[in-house]
């Protein structure tokens, strides 16, 4: 099969397409013919060798994908050969930037017919992160107001859709007109441009001076200090994305009884993951959750996709097509 391989850590140029042997599933595993693979920012940090997790070299990137079940191990009974599925992870040393990937049975989920493979590839990390941030970390309850600080990308569009479906009042930011229109289309009650100088003043007005209960933060090193000033009493900031350091005034948290909570999806344990999957699958089946695919690249263009996912002007999800 063809797969993207990295033989060393470094810039996107370390990714190249190669012929490698077809992987074979173990008894509790599923072999999937990948039709689309999700490109996440974390894939670029891992490729660069700057992330806490370092796979053994050479490796194939990618944890998210969707395709058709090609073989099942004897003990994997939840799906059958020919099923359309999406993956929330891979195992056996495989990755989704390939024609075939292996996943444990618990990482394989039926993909409803009305969702494309590209949409399936947009689910794993983005929707899992958005759900965990809102409900397992922030413990948001219907009626609360949420700011998704960076709502135009993979995690942000998912957060707006999920929050909206669950009765939260959703406010989302983007940095381009196109991104703002996208955030509005996902069901945001208000949209704000995080490149406008006065957008947090507008946020105060939109919330009647009260502030927001929850902030899902995609770029904490830029925004965390400001976030603490626009939280309501008992507010929670969930740090989802961060690319550096920042100075904050702790008094802004003290005066509001506010909390700053970190999260990484890699820390999620099986019972929480099963709960996330159950909630998301219900949303996909009901049609309230509809992943947005903004750009598609052929598999061989993985280096270009890794550049694109870090460029400003996010618009939903970037996927690779093997």
Ligand X SMILES: NC(=O)c1ccc[n+]([C@@H]2O[C@H](COP(=O)([O-])OP(=O)(O)OC[C@H]3O[C@@H](n4cnc5c(N)ncnc54)[C@H](OP(=O)(O)O)[C@@H]3O)[C@@H](O)[C@H]2O)c1
Q: Does 61 bind ligand X (CB under 6 A)?
A: no
Tell me: does residue 218 bind ligand X (CB under 6 A). yes
Q: What's the sign of the alpha-carbon dihedral 307, 308, 313, 319?
A: negative
Taking the complex as a whole, the smallest distance from the CB of residue 182 to ligand X amounts, in Å, to 9
Using rule CB under 6 A, residue 156 touches ligand X: yes
199's tokens: 């957008």
Q: Is the peptide bond before 313 cis (omega within 30 degrees of 0)?
A: no
- 299 with 321: CB under 8 angstroms? yes
* Count of residues that interact with ligand X, criterion CB under 6 A: 33
For residue 179, state whether it binds ligand X (rule: CB under 6 A). Answer: yes
Tell me if 175 contacts ligand X by CB under 6 A.
yes
| Smallest distance from ligand X to CB 270, Å | 17
| CB 161 to ligand X: min, Å | 13
Beta bridge partners of 237: 215, 260
Closest CB 27 distance from ligand X, rounded Å: 30
> Contact 49/38 with Cβ under 8 angstroms?
no
Question: Position of tokens 């990618």?
Answer: 62
The correct pick among 72, 123, 219, 228 for binding ligand X (CB under 6 A) is 219
DSSP 60-125: ---SEEEEEEEEE-TT--S--TT-EEEEE---TT--SSBSEEEEEGGGEEEPPTTS-HHHHHTTHH
Alpha helices in the chain (DSSP H): 41-48, 117-121, 124-131, 154-165, 177-185, 199-206, 220-229, 250-254, 270-286, 302-308
Nearer to ligand X, 22 or 307 (CB): 307
Residue 138 Cβ vs ligand X, minimum distance, rounded to whole Å: 13
Residues 15-54 that bind ligand X (CB under 6 A): 40-42
Under the criterion CB under 6 A, does residue 63 sit at the interface with ligand X? no
8 A C-beta contact, residue 163 and residue 157: no
**Site map for ligand X, 224-263, x if CB under 6 A?**
----------------xx---------------------x
Return the residue nearest ligand X (CB atom): 153
Which residue, 34, 35, 30, 17, is CA-closest to 76?
30
User: Is 107 or 223 the residue whose CB approaches ligand X more closely?
Assistant: 223
Told to check if 170 binds ligand X by CB under 6 A, we report no
CA dist 128 → 94, 156, 217, 297 (Å)? 20, 12, 15, 23
Region of residue 37 (left: phi > 0; alpha: psi -120 to 50; beta: else): beta
Site string for ligand X, 114-153 (x = CB under 6 A): -----------xx--x-------------------xxxxx
Least distance in Å: CB of 8 to ligand X? 22
| C-alpha to C-alpha distance for 206 and 200, rounded to whole angstroms | 10
Nearest distance, CB of residue 32 and ligand X, angstroms:
22
Site for ligand X in 266-305 (CB under 6 A): none
In whole angstroms, the minimum distance from the beta carbon of 83 to ligand X comes to 27
Binding mask 68-107 for ligand X (x = CB under 6 A): ----------------------------------------
Binding residues for ligand X (CB under 6 A): 40-42, 125-126, 129, 149-156, 173-176, 179, 194, 218-219, 222-223, 240-241, 263-265, 309, 312-314
């Amino acid at each position: 099969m063809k797969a993207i391989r990295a033989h060393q850590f470094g810039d996107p140029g370390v990714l190249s397409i190669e012929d490698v042997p077809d992987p074979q599933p173990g008894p509790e595993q599923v072999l999937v013919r990948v039709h689309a693979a999700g490109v996440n920012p974390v894939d670029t940090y891992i490729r660069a060798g700057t992330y806490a997790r370092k796979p053994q070299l050479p490796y194939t990137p990618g944890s998210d994908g969707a395709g058709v079940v090609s073989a099942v191990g004897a003990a994997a009974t939840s799906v059958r050969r020919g099923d359309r599925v999406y993956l929330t992870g891979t195992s056996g040393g495989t990755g989704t930037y390939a024609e075939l990937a292996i996943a444990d049975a618990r990482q394989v989920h039926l993909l409803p017919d009305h969702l494309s493979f590209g949409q399936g590839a947009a689910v794993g990390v983005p929707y899992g992160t958005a759900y965990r941030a809102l409900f397992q970390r922030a413990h948001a309850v219907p009626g609360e107001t949420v700011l998704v600080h960076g709502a135009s990308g993979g995690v942000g569009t998912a957060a707006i859709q999920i929050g909206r479906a669950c009765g939260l009042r959703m406010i989302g930011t983007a940095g381009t007109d196109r991104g703002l229109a996208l955030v509005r289309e996902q069901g945001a009650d208000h949209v704000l441009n995080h490149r406008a100088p006065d957008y947090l003043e507008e946020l105060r007005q939109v919330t009647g001076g009260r502030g927001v209960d929850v902030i899902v933060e995609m770029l904490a090193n830029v925004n965390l200090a400001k976030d603490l000033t626009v939280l309501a009493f008992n507010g929670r900031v969930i740090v989802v994305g961060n690319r550096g350091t920042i100075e904050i005034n702790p008094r802004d948290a003290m005066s509001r009884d506010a909390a700053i909570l970190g999260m990484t999806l890699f820390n999620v344990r099986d019972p929480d993951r099963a709960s996330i999957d159950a909630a998301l699958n219900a949303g996909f089946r009901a049609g309230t959750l509809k992943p947005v695919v903004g750009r598609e690249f052929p598999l061989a263009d993985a280096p270009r996709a890794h550049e694109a996912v870090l460029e400003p002007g996010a618009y939903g999800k970037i996927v690779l097509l093997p």
